[in-house]
Amino acid sequence: MIVQSSVTLEPATELHENSPVPRHIAIIMDGNGRWAKERGLPRVNGHSSGAHALRAVTETCCVLGVECLTVYAFSTENWKRPAEEVSALFGLLEHFLESELPTLQQNNVKLRAIGRLSELPKSTLHALEGTIQKTTANDGLTLILAINYSGRTELEDAIRAVCREVAQGTLTPEEFNQAHLQKHLYTRDWPDPDLLIRTSGEMRLSNFLLWQLSYTELYVTPKRWPDFTGNDLVEAIKEFNQRQRRYGGL
């Protein structure tokens, strides 16, 4: 379902009418801190500007008809950052969830979240659960926030769940296969990403969706996340459409 949006794409970056669009796009939103440092601003200003970029990219996904958008909002490793920055990040997230709710509703966006959410600050978890509940009836783009997320801890949690099935006698080691593991992943309700975008030029996955990205096409841009626009997203999709996905075959 395509909805009305405030996003305006430049004619040179619009997709052709019959151009395919990835069903699921994942983004590592990197470079907020460096963006702020380059401007002589506190790091929190970079995170705030990054939230505005997320709104623009989300709206562009709605216009293009993308089904799922997963963004790396806060990793389990991010707890190592200074306490002041971590507190500011969660404060910004709570503000984002409250202030962006009308935009999510206007664009028919369903919000979801993955990660060890029970470990979040109570106020953040309350705000997150509230926005998820309020958008649950929407059937357009699914926006998935990876918060307190790690690809390794996701696999750890999934394997632990499989071990419980074996211990309970409902699954034998001989019966176990990839499908049994996948049904316990945080992302079990959605297809694997077709396209991963990483901003700020870093060439690594940073413990993000390690299982799901096995055959995902990668697109890395030197742009800092706050500078990434809807038009940049279209350019990434254009390059994606030039790839030939073989999934290990010829």
Which residues are known catalytic residues? Answer: 30, 78
Distance of CA 60 to the CA centre of its chain: 14
- The strand pair at 24-28 and 195-198 is best described as parallel
Concatenating the DSSP letter of every residue in 99-130 gives HTHHHHHHTTPEEEEES-GGGS-HHHHHHHHH
Q: Is the dihedral of CA 176, 185, 137, 197 positive or negative?
A: negative
Buried b (16+ CB within 10 A) or exposed e, 172-196: eeeeeeeeebeebbbbeebebbbbb
CA distance 38 to 82: 20
- Token pair for 36: 């702020």
Contacts with 207 (C-beta within 8 Å, 6 or more apart), sequence order: 75, 76, 77, 150, 151, 152
What's phi and psi for 115, nearest 5 deg? 130, -175
Sheet holding 195-198, edge to edge: 110-114, 142-149, 68-75, 24-28, 195-198, 217-220
CA distance 67 to 65: 6
- Token pair for 228: 């990434």
